Amino acid sequence: MSGWRWGANLATLANGLLGAGAVAYTLAGNPRFALLLMVGAIGFDGLDGLLARRAGGTPSVVGRVLDSLADSLSFALAPAVLVAYHTFNAGSWQPYGWAALLVGAEVGSLAVARLIYFTLRGHAHPHFVGASTPQNAIAVAVAVLFLDVPGYLGTAPVALLLVAALLAPLMVLPIPYPKLRRGGALRGTMALTSLALAAALLPEQWWPAPGSAWANFSELAAALAALGIALYYLLGPLAVRAAERNASPGASHG
């Protein structure tokens, strides 16, 4: 096994461990750190793909399965638990306990369904069929920041549940989204989006006081991440269709 392949396997392991940590910290009552771990898992997931491509050859079925298992922890179970389980603002969430469990189950089950499809068939497509699970995890994380913890727009359980419930089906609907590879459409946009989300979460680990400079910085960074997410969901399918037109035999290459 080449060094690149070993590196890819270690990145997959790190992805899964961070996802498991995100679940544990959410259940322990620290969703801020759970969100940061989830973003870290997204970084290792991208590194895994990069190293696997450097290794060359045809990816093994075992490698794809292990990658999907790690993704199931980080991008299915972790966001599902974030939506379903609440130790903060318990009074605001108390009337919506069953709804939160149902939406959390929707997020987790559709993410797992999307990963199963990708493992068996979807990996062969030049683009994603349905939004990727890391993309959905980023969107859920930003929604949590604005609508739950720390709640830049206030604690709004109904709004958060609606956002999560509407985003989840996009993972399994046959809508094309570009893969974020070198030279791919929106790769730079999503890299900046992930960095903005990480920048928003780092100061939050010290619980900055509302209205303080650090809290305002976090909110601005989260707003930039939200903009990047919206651009990906809106422009991603258009970018895939444009690439397909350009690659068609009748396309002009003048």
Domains, the chain: 3-176 (1.20.120)
pLDDT band per the 50, 70, 90 thresholds, residue 148: very high
Most confident of 120-129, 143-152, 181-190: 143-152
Percent of the chain with pLDDT over 90: 67
* Contact status, residue 213 vs residue 154, Cβ threshold 8 Å: no
> What are 18's strand-pairing partners?
none
Region of 130 on the Ramachandran plot (φ > 0 left; ψ -120 to 50 alpha; else beta): left
In angstroms, the CA 19 to CA 33 distance is 11
- Percentage of the chain with pLDDT > 70? 91
pLDDT category at 254 given cuts 50, 70, 90 is very low
* Residue 177 contacts residue 237 (beta carbons within 8 Å): yes
Q: Which amino acid is at 126?
A: P
> Does residue 50 register a pLDDT over 60?
yes
Residue 59 has pLDDT above 80, yes or no: no
Count Cβ atoms within 10 A of the Cβ of residue 210 and give its class: 0-12 exposed, 13-18 middle, 19 or more buried.
exposed
Q: How confident is the model at residue 60 (pLDDT cuts 50, 70, 90)?
A: low
CA atoms of 142 and 90, how far apart (whole Å): 20
Beta bridge partners of 128: 177
Residue 119: which H helix or E strand, with range? Answer: helix 97-120
Global pTM value: 0.91
The average pLDDT across 172-178 equals 94
**Low-confidence winner among 32-36, 170-174, 187-191 (lowest mean pLDDT):** 187-191
236: Cβ contacts below 8 Å, ≥ 6 apart = 131, 176, 177, 178, 185, 186
195 in Cβ contact with 136 (< 8 Å): no
81 versus 53: the higher-pLDDT residue is 81
HSE (CB half, 13 Å, CA atoms) of 29?
4
More confident residue, 187 or 27: 27
pLDDT computed for residue 252 by the predictor: 41
pLDDT at 127: 87
CA triple 237-238-243, angle to 5 deg: 100
**What gap in Å lies between CA 246 and CA 210, rounded to an integer?**
49
Q: What angle do CA 108, 113, 118 make, to 5 degrees?
A: 125
Of 13 and 119, more confident: 13
- Summarised one tens digit per residue, pLDDT across range 92-127 is 899 999 999 999 999 999 999 999 988 887 567 788
The predicted model gives 20-26 an average pLDDT of 97
Residues 38/19, Cβ–Cβ less than 8 Å: yes
86 pLDDT band, cuts 50/70/90, is: confident
According to the model, what pLDDT value does residue 251 have? Answer: 47
